[in-house]
Amino acid sequence: MNPILRSLVAFTCTTAWSASAIDTTNTRLVSDPAPGNSGLAFAYANDLWMAAQDGSGVRRLTVHPGVESGPRLSPDGKLVAFTGRYEGNTDVYVVPAAGGVPQRLTWHPGEDVALGFTPDGKSVLFSSSREVYTGRYTQLFTVPVTGGYPTRLPIPNATKAAIAPDGRTIAYVPLRESFGQWKHYRGGTTSRILLFDVDTQEVKQVPQPAGRCNDTDPMWVGDALYFRSDRDGEFNVYAFDKRGQSVKRLTKHTDFPVVHAASGGGKIA
C-alpha cells in the first residue's frame, strides 16, 4: 500500500475509535459538577459539557485533545471558567456557556488552577505558585475575563477558595490536601477552612473536632458557607453557621464519600 494512503487509513481508524470511545449514553464517570442559573457544567472524557439542571439538553463545550477540568459558571451564567491543559501547560481559560472558542487568561509556565469567579463576574479566581520562590505552596489571584495581568489577593497561601457573594469574606483552604493519599488523615497538615475578612484582614477558622479532620471545597450559597468534611467518617457536605459558630451535617453517605462539590445559582452539586 502507498505510504501516504496507509497513513490516511490509520488516521481515519484512530479518529473513528477516539470518537466512538466517548459513550454519552452510559456516563458513569462524569465529574466536577458546577451548577449555575443557566444549567450545569461538568467534565466527562476529559472535555467539558453543559446540561439543564434536570439533565436534559446535554451538549459538548470542548473538543480539544488536552484535558479540561474544574468548570465554574459565572454569576450571570454566560461564561464557564476552567483549567485547561493545552499547549504543554496548565492555565486558566473561559468559554461561553452557549458554546464558542476557549480564551486563555493566564500565561505563566507554572500551574494555574481555576477556582471560580469574583461576585461581579468580571474576573476569575485562581490559585498559582507563580510568586512563590520555593514552589511549595500556592496563592490566590484574580484575572479579568477579558484578559489582562493577574492581581494577587492579600492571603499568604491558599490552594482552594471561594468569595462570598457580598465580597467581604473569602473562605479558603491554606495548604495542599493530604487525604487523597491517606484516608482519614489526621496529621499536622489536615485541611482547614479559614475565613478571611477583606476589610479587616482578620482570619478565623471553621471549628473542627478536637481530634482534627479534613475540611475542603468551601462554597457559598447566599451568606451561608458549605463544605466537604470527613469529620464523621466518609466525606459529606456540611454547613457552617457563622453566628452560632456551629457546624451541621447535611448529607449522610456512609458507603462512598462525596468526592466533589460546587455551588452556583443557589444550589450545590
Task: Using pLDDT thresholds of 50, 70 and 90, give the confidence band for residue 22.
Answer: low
pLDDT of 240? 96
pLDDT of 82? 98
pLDDT digits (tens, 9 = 90+) for 128-150: 999 999 889 999 999 999 999 99
The upper half-sphere exposure of residue 175, i.e. CA atoms within 13 Å in the direction of its Cβ, equals: 11
pLDDT of 4? 41
Q: Which residue has the higher pLDDT, 24 or 143?
A: 143
pLDDT tops 60 at residue 41: yes
Query: Average pLDDT in the 105-127 region?
Result: 97
Query: Average pLDDT in the 219-234 region?
Result: 95
Please give the helix or strand (H or E) that residue 53 lies within, else none: none
Task: Using pLDDT thresholds of 50, 70 and 90, give the confidence band for residue 24.
Answer: low
pLDDT of 48? 96
pLDDT tops 60 at residue 10: no
pLDDT of 212? 95
Residue for grid cell 469529620? 231
pLDDT tops 50 at residue 15: no
Take residue 107 and report the three cell numbers written for it. Answer: 500565561
pTM of the predicted structure, to 2 decimals: 0.88
pLDDT of 3? 42
**Is the CB of residue 39 less than 8 Å from the CB of residue 264?**
no
pLDDT of 259? 93
172: left (phi over 0), alpha (psi -120 to 50) or beta: beta
> What CATH topology corresponds to 154-264?
Neuraminidase (2.120.10)
pLDDT tops 70 at residue 217: yes
pLDDT of 205? 97
pLDDT of 1? 47
107: left (phi over 0), alpha (psi -120 to 50) or beta: alpha
pLDDT of 73? 96
What one-character DSSP code corresponds to residue 108?
Answer: -
Take residue 92 and report the three cell numbers written for it. Answer: 486558566
pLDDT tops 60 at residue 56: yes
Task: Using pLDDT thresholds of 50, 70 and 90, give the confidence band for residue 21.
Answer: low
Residue for grid cell 490509520? 10
pLDDT tops 50 at residue 7: no
Share of the chain above pLDDT 90, in %: 81
| Alpha-carbon gap, residue 70 to 162, rounded angstroms | 13
Query: Average pLDDT in the 91-116 region?
Result: 96
pLDDT digits (tens, 9 = 90+) for 167-193: 999 999 999 999 989 999 999 999 999
